[in-house]
Structure 1
Amino acid sequence: MIKVIVVDDQNLMRDGLEVILNSFSDIEVLACGENGEEALKLVGEFMPDLVLMDIRMPVMDGVTASKIIREKFPKVKILLLTTFDDEEYILNALSLGVSGYIFKDIEKEKLRQAIMDCIKGTFIMPTKVAEVLAKKVVKEEKKVEEKKLKLPLTEREAEVASMIADGFTNRQIASALYISDGTVKNYVSSIYSKLGIKDRTKLALYYRSHI
């Protein structure tokens, strides 16, 4: 049985999700909340397998709540509910290690499948969300080309450095650039060596100060 907590500031959406999820024999909704602060309390109290949470909420949004949950309860999966208008929220949440994103108008059976896949470790990303990520990558490529960074890096290394500065994880960089995780690690090691830097935070600061 998969234990779930539902968090959404809209009563109708929250109650509807609870009813739908409880209709499945292998999913149980333990509790519901209406903002990120409530999500934190509920996760600490119930220790669910997964938090199904709206990305945009008052008091504390889903991005901020996800960051804290990932730090305090790393084993808890987080599946964020979003709309196509939440581009900035989606981009801000990419580096937090959430398990994926689904649109609020998702069909009932696809919702169940997304939760099942999420629990198995599959990263959930609808096509439209992937398009947002792809557009971001294109913008970064143009930024690198237009500003012609005066750094001792190859074009690809500069591209990777730019994405790291924007909070992308190695896994997300690999997915966006269609290269392996190992290749990304090699690029990162080369960047560190050339710039005399040893961590991602310092790299981000260095990169931004040189563009």
Structure 2
Amino acid sequence: MSKISIVIADDQMLTREGLQTILDLEENMEVVGVAINGEEACELAERLQPTLVLLDIQMPVMDGLTALKKIKASCPHTRILILTTFVEADYIVEGIAGGASGYMLKDMDADKMIASIRDTVDGQFVLPASVANKLAARMNQLADDFGRQKRAGEKPIKLTEREEEIGRLMLKGLNNREIAEALSIAEGTVRNYISGLYGKLEVMDRAHAVARLQGLFPSLRGSIIVQRETD
């Protein structure tokens, strides 16, 4: 099995060194680069094309959310876990909209960190329970706002069968590549359908699209995979 190559980006030396120490103990993981700001993270990711980037949100020169978008543009196959010590709903939504594969709390136990990394590399979108709860509350709020607008006389949204299939998979946390594989269609075709969904839902990004889709498919609320706090 090939090693999981990882870039760590955090402006705090103790965090960088602590993470590297933990990861270096894993036989199939290798820290190939360390960055102290978002700009360095982008440069390392583009040059090294790692399997995973552990990316802090608040960094000098370039913040993590800006770096996230740049890395996803230059390294579409690299997965990104956002590192954070706090849970702000707007940061969570913006990170997901930017293409993050999940969030990881800096104060998590080492075993849970390793499990989060493995799950992310395996294609899962995994959130610590505290982050997932904040996200669910925010998504439910947006969905409720949409429901009130709809009841107030907004025109009903009509989706094609394929758009509905893709919308339901988006609600389950699948990215474009995973949706394409699930439906046996090209990833470019998925992007075209999602662009059409944005237009019908009158949104500009994936996070708001998910919120509005929750209003259309309320039975699928809370379908994001949540990491348990305790075993």
What band does the TM-score fall into relative to the shorter chain?
0.7 to 0.9
Output the CA distance in 2 between the equivalents of 1:173 and 1:49. 23
Q: Which runs of 5 or more structure 1 residues have no equivalent in the other structure?
A: 158-168, 183-196
Output the CA distance in 2 between the equivalents of 1:172 and 1:21. 32
Of the two structures, which has the highest relative contact order with CA contacts closer than 8 Å and spacing of 6 or more? 2
| Residue pairs, 1:59-78, within 5 angstroms | 59-78=61-80
Q: Is the 8 A contact 1:100 1:118 kept in 2?
A: yes
Q: Is the 8 A contact 2:81 2:100 kept in 1?
A: yes
Quote how far apart the aligned CAs of 1:21 are: 0.9
CA shift in 2, pair 1:39/1:47, >3 Å: same
| Residue pairs, 1:106-125, within 5 angstroms | 106-125=108-127
Q: Tell me, what secondary structure is at the counterpart of 1:42?
A: helix
Calculate the aligned-residue CA RMSD, in Å. Answer: 2.8
CA shift in 2, pair 1:171/1:27, >3 Å: farther
1:153 aligns with 2:151: no
Q: Tell me, what secondary structure is at the counterpart of 1:204?
A: coil
Q: Is the 8 A contact 1:36 1:65 kept in 2?
A: yes
1:16 aligns with 2:14: no
1:87 aligned partner = 89
Output the CA distance in 2 between the equivalents of 1:25 and 1:9. 26
Amino acid at match of 1:24: E
Output the CA distance in 2 between the equivalents of 1:17 and 1:68. 23
37, 40, 43: which one aligns with 1:38: 40
Query: Normalized against structure 2, the TM-score is what?
Result: 0.67
Amino acid at match of 1:59: V
Quote how far apart the aligned CAs of 1:201 are: 5.6
Q: Percent identity between the aligned chains?
A: 35
Aligned length: 176
Q: Is the 8 A contact 1:84 1:128 kept in 2?
A: no
Q: Is the 8 A contact 1:81 1:101 kept in 2?
A: yes
Q: Which runs of 5 or more structure 2 residues have no equivalent in the other structure?
A: 160-165, 174-178, 183-194, 209-231
